């Protein structure tokens, strides 16, 4: 390859964070993630097309090299070829995401996304400044029935003992994923479940004799309730936990969240962080890497490609997030400058998302022949708790990355 300092810098970065990978595997992930950032696409044809003239290599030669990154060993030519084992990459991958992380608090979201009638992806993602980056995933064929429970348990099991003592981790999941076994699996990791449940259920607060419908505890808009007790009255479904309830203005119903945290240490409003994983899915598709155009139909190959997608996503998010945290950029505009924003004084808008801004900064570095920006995570300040007029509310604490 011709000498491109920026590309070699990125190859060295990948090799440093994934020391167990072979040189061809590290090179493949570097070429994929670098090419995706330049082409703004995870399409094999698009990435090969942008890298071929840059590296002075024939298009088909480079295309085959890229395909070897996600192909199984038996489909590769030559001896001593091996699969890229994605599951073995997750531990160093999480370490990379948390390298230089400001603070010891982490919010993780679990959810599934589909790619038409081709794939269903079960993803565990770190939420970050309105976005999310996947740290573990399982790709399934959408047309085949498959039990999700063993897959979720296997994904969570990969993180047992990876975080040092002193970290606070909440795991957010929507109503469709709630299960008693999931609550227990998260607690076993010494993480804290934050699982939303439907209103069709009942709760018996500690010291109370009777069960009460969830909806009776948070009966109207503007009402809140939180306390310890037992959720669900069935013998097999009963769960000792904390119930957090909040019915915000303009919502059709309350948020009802089950957690193991003490009532005074958590707030239902934290559940709003879960929505950030939706932006992460958007970035993998139409909002970023255009994965919806893939012609791939092998879920195992798609899982390997997602490793490059995750790396490229975090590259943009970390660079854009550091810029937002460190300066007054177009990402951080006071709301009164936005037409029609007078109803929400004091809040701020992101006029440019950190994903887009990170891409702009990387492209600018390439055009200016500068070293590529590679930044640590700078999360926004963790929601703190305060008490106003006897009511505990969630607020953002001073300091941090916001």
Rounded-to-integer distance, Cα 131 and Cα 306, Å: 17
pLDDT of residue 335: 43
270 in a domain, yes or no?
Answer: yes
pLDDT of residue 328: 54
360 in a domain, yes or no?
Answer: no
Q: Is 364 exposed, middle or buried (0-12, 13-18, 19+ CB in 10 A)?
A: exposed
pLDDT of residue 306: 97
127 in a domain, yes or no?
Answer: yes
| Residue-level pLDDT, tens digit, the chain, 402 residues | 456 788 999 999 999 999 999 999 999 999 999 999 999 999 999 999 999 999 999 999 999 999 999 999 887 776 777 889 999 999 999 999 999 998 889 999 999 999 989 999 999 999 999 999 999 999 999 999 999 999 999 999 999 989 888 899 999 999 999 999 999 999 999 999 999 999 999 999 998 989 999 999 999 988 999 999 999 999 999 999 999 999 988 888 899 999 999 999 999 989 999 999 999 999 999 999 999 999 999 999 999 999 999 999 999 999 999 999 887 555 554 444 334 434 444 456 677 889 999 999 999 999 998 999 999 999 987 766 544 334 444 333 322 332
pLDDT of residue 338: 37
312 in a domain, yes or no?
Answer: no
- The answer for residues whose C-beta is within 8 angstroms of residue 268's C-beta and 6 or more apart is 224, 226, 244, 245, 246, 255, 256, 257
pLDDT of residue 4: 79
Domain tally for the chain?
1
Q: Give helix 86-98 / helix 5-17 axis angle, nearest 10°.
A: 110
313 in a domain, yes or no?
Answer: no
Q: What is the value of pTM for the model shown?
A: 0.89
The bridge status of strand 333-334 relative to strand 348-349 is antiparallel
pLDDT of residue 95: 96
357 in a domain, yes or no?
Answer: no
CATH number (domain holding residue 240): 3.90.350.10
Rounded-to-integer distance, Cα 82 and Cα 142, Å: 27
3-class SS at 137?
strand
The residue segments making up the domain with residue 260 are: 90-280
Rounded to 5 degrees, what are φ and ψ at 244? -115, 125
For the chain, the residue count is: 402
159 in a domain, yes or no?
Answer: yes
224 in a domain, yes or no?
Answer: yes
Instruction: Dig out the tokens for 136 from the structure.
Output: 């573990």
Rounded to 5 degrees, what are φ and ψ at 42? -105, 15
Inter-residue contact 38 to 1 (CB < 8 Å): no
Instruction: Dig out the tokens for 282 from the structure.
Output: 């958007």
């Amino acid at each position: 390859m011709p000498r491109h300092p920026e590309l070699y810098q990125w190859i060295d970065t990948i090799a440093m964070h994934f020391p167990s990978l072979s040189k061809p595997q590290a090179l493949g992930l570097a070429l994929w993630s670098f090419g995706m950032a330049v082409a703004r696409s995870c399409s094999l044809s698009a990435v090969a097309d942008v890298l071929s003239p840059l590296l002075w290599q024939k298009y088909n030669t480079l295309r085959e090299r890229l395909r070897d990154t996600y192909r199984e060993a038996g489909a590769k030519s030559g001896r001593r070829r091996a699969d890229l084992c994605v599951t073995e990459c997750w531990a160093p991958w999480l370490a990379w995401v948390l390298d230089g992380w400001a603070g010891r608090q982490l919010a993780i979201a679990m959810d599934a996304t589909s790619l038409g009638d081709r794939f269903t992806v079960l993803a565990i993602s770190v939420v970050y400044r309105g976005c999310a980056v996947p740290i573990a995933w399982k790709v399934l064929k959408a047309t085949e029935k498959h039990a999700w429970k063993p897959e979720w348990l296997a994904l969570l099991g990969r993180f047992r003992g990876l975080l040092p003592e002193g970290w606070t981790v909440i795991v957010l999941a929507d109503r469709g994923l709630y299960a008693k076994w999931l609550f227990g699996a998260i607690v076993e990791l010494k993480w804290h479940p934050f699982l939303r449940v439907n209103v069709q259920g009942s709760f018996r607060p500690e010291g109370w004799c009777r069960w009460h419908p969830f909806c009776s505890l948070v009966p109207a808009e503007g009402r809140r309730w939180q306390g310890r007790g037992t959720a669900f009255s069935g013998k097999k479904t009963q769960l000792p936990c904390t119930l957090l309830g909040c019915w915000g203005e303009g919502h059709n119903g309350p948020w009802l969240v089950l957690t193991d945290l003490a009532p005074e240490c958590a707030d239902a409003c934290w559940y709003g962080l879960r929505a950030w994983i939706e932006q992460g899915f958007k970035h993998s598709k139409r909002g970023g890497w255009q994965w919806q155009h893939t012609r791939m139909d092998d879920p195992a190959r798609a899982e390997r490609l997602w490793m490059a997608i995750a790396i490229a996503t975090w590259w943009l998010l970390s660079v854009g997030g550091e810029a937002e945290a460190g300066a007054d950029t177009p990402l951080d505009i006071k709301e009164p400058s936005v037409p029609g924003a007078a109803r929400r004084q004091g809040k701020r808008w992101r006029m440019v998302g950190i994903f887009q801004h990170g891409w702009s900064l990387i492209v600018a570095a390439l055009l200016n022949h500068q070293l590529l920006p590679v930044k640590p995570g700078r999360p926004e300040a963790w929601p703190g708790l305060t008490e106003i007029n006897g009511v505990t509310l969630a607020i953002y604490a001073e300091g941090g990355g916001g």
